Structures are given as structure tokens and as C-alpha cells.
Amino acid sequence: MNEIKLVVEGYYEILNLHKALLEAKFHKNPDNFYVAGSPFIAKICNNIVDMLTEYEIEEKGKDTWGEWRKIENQNLFKERAVENAQNVAWERLSYEEKELLTKNIFSPFTFTENDVIDFIKMVDGKFNIV
């Protein structure tokens, strides 16, 4: 397939694209549960926040996105991620698939391996998986 480019002009367009994608990934009642764990959407979300961070550092000399981006600072998004993970046949996934799905679900947030382990345990607990 030929490369297709999307041109986003300016900070506010990319910021609003970021907001729309967050809404789609962490919506309480999504129409498509697979958006939250899509590796394609995860990559796009990470790239967008990287661009917003870079812009802020270049233009303002500071990085407020770094703290915002830590999953440990995002209880609402974590709660929604747990809810959404329960809707994608979680109980049938291998541990490795759960790890990959968790990392995709968490994007554009940054996280530690312990965050991933804790998340998997939390979702497994919803299904009584030991």
C-alpha cells in the first residue's frame, strides 16, 4: 500500500486530535471495544503526545506532559482501561497477549512493568483467574 499522509496544522489541531483519541480509547461505553487495545491507535497516540511534549519543550522550555503521562497519575483512565479490557475476551488470552494488550491500552501513558503486572492481576481478578 502506498504511504498516506495526514497533515495536522498547528498545536491546537494536534491537541484536539489527542483529546478525540483519548475519548475513543477510554470511553465508558465504547461502540468498538477493540479501539482501546489497537496497536495502531496506541502508536498514533504515543506519537501525538511525543509531538505535544516536544512542542512544549521547544516553545515554553518546560515539560508538563511528562507528569501527566504517567499512568500512576491517571486513576480515571486506569479504571476505564480495566472496564474496557474486560470486553475483549481477556479470559482467553495468554499472559503474553495480556501484557501486549495492556501496553496498548495504556498508551499514550507511560508505565512500569509493575504497572502492567498489577493491571493484569486486577483484570484477572474480575474473572477470578488465578
The confidence score (pLDDT) of residue 130 equals 67
The domain limits of the chain are 11-126
The confidence score (pLDDT) of residue 127 equals 86
Please report how the helices 113-126 and 95-106 are oriented relative to each other, as an axis angle in degrees rounded to 10.
110
Give the separation between CA 96 and CA 81, rounded to whole angstroms.
Answer: 18
Give the separation between CA 41 and CA 105, rounded to whole angstroms.
Answer: 9
- Segment 55-106, tens digit of pLDDT: 999 999 999 999 999 999 999 999 999 999 988 889 999 999 999 999 999 9
Q: Give mean pLDDT, residues 4-27.
A: 94
The confidence score (pLDDT) of residue 6 equals 87
The confidence score (pLDDT) of residue 124 equals 95
